[in-house]
Structure 1
Amino acid sequence: MTTQTLHIAVLTVFSETRESNDSYWRQIYLSIVQAAHERGIVVDDVIRINQGLKLADFAQYDAIIVLGDMTPSAVNQLKQINSSIVLADAKDHYHDIDAVNPELRLMTVRILNELYEAGRQKIGFIGGINDLTALDGTTTTNLEDVRSEIYEEWSKNHGITPHFHTGTWHAETGSLGATKLLEEEPQLDALLVASDPIALGAINALKLQGIEPGKDIDVVSFDNLELASYLVPALTTVELHPSAIGKTAISQACELARGERTWPIWATIPSQLHYRETFKKNK
């Protein structure tokens, strides 16, 4: 008996330019394509919201994988057309929709605890704010990143004055953030950053002020991009395993498409902290 070939759509909120400049999301997409090929699944051309959508077209696919954050209204409209949806690294959870996400909460707490145990009392945070995209391509920037939430909660619980800055997910946010936080607290002794590109800007700003990461201030980031190990000093950062996120999304999409289950699954991919020169545990 021959098995019917599955056709799965990848719907992304990111433009080609944003995706080409964002290794994390590019790796998720490429791993989806690779895993689909290995399973004999057809992934049609990536569908980008900013290029315009015909919502009714999504009914033809066996399942849909969504990359990035859409508004609740957009998600619900999509679900009415096709109920076999997997959200990849979406900040909002829905009780009846599959999701696969990197583990951020426990890792953020772990890093803050390790910095605190290393004697750091003035820990700052620089992060990004997430855009919510509607089906017509318009965006609203109002979704706080979970790492920012955890940082504020952790600081309150430890009686530490929070020093944080958020902005776009670019190096400029790190540069502006580091400068601002040092003005607020010249004795800042640690910095948690939500992404490697932001951390790159922060490290440059620190160096311009004669502050050496790993000696004068600890810096820990997220992403573990290839450049992290080549920076001077090398950046301590968290591997979020984007390839595993993509492969898991394909696996869940296949189960939904084939009707193998009627309940949603929220999968969490464990993250891994790589210690390098900007923060060495138990030093």
Structure 2
Amino acid sequence: MSPGVRMAGWRERWRSTRRAVVRGTAIALAAMLLASGAVTAPAAVPAASAAGSLPGWLSTRGSTIVTATGTPYTIKAVAWFGQAAKLATLRPILTPVTTPKPTSSPKPTSSPKPTSSPKPTSSPKPTSSPRATSSPKPTSSSSPRPTPSPTKSSAPQAVRVEWIPQSAWGQGYVVELSLTATGSVTAWTVSFDAPGTTAVTNAWGMACATSGTRVTCTGAGYRAALSPGQSVRVGLQAAATRAPSSPKLTVTAS
């Protein structure tokens, strides 16, 4: 179908719709005018028309509204634009609205009653003051007796000593001594007989001297004082024609 044909069909449908709307509006307007008394129909109007059923089209002729058959209707007055006429005309189709009744004002609540003030409690009675106890009598204290002072031991602290030969040759020998303290020692001396020894040429950890065939050595330096259980090793080199094999060692300590 061409656009022109479709457009013509739309125009025809629009005209039909518009005519139907205008016709319905005119019939409704005529019925409202008849119901409100704004217009009156002549005596020749059929009963169906006086009841408001008007067949055919309505049109105007001067100040007269006529039906499609030419029956005239004279307009007495047009007052339906006023508030009273509009309400009278629209009253049959309006739904009455009930006016809301005002609600009752709320009753004021009763004021709260004040509570009774608390009664003061009775003050506690003071307890009886404690009685002072009798002061304890001091006991006779005996004067402390002085403890006897410990006596100093006359016996010297012991030091164990061991003879340890190192080497020997025809003109001398080297020997070391190992000393172990059994108590606290601040000084010690070791002496022994060494026949054939003429001089002590060298010594470490002690100072040695000869007198005849006897050699006496005293601890020197940090090896002079010994703590309990401490061991030190000292030695000497002597000029001699022969070396003593296992001389008797005499030890004194303080």
The alignment's TM-score, normalised by the length of structure 1, stands at 0.14
Specify the structure having the higher radius of gyration (Cα).
2
Q: Which one has more relative contact order, counting CA pairs under 8 Å at least 6 apart?
A: 1
Per residue, is there more strand in 1 or in 2? 2
The alignment's TM-score, normalised by the length of structure 2, stands at 0.15
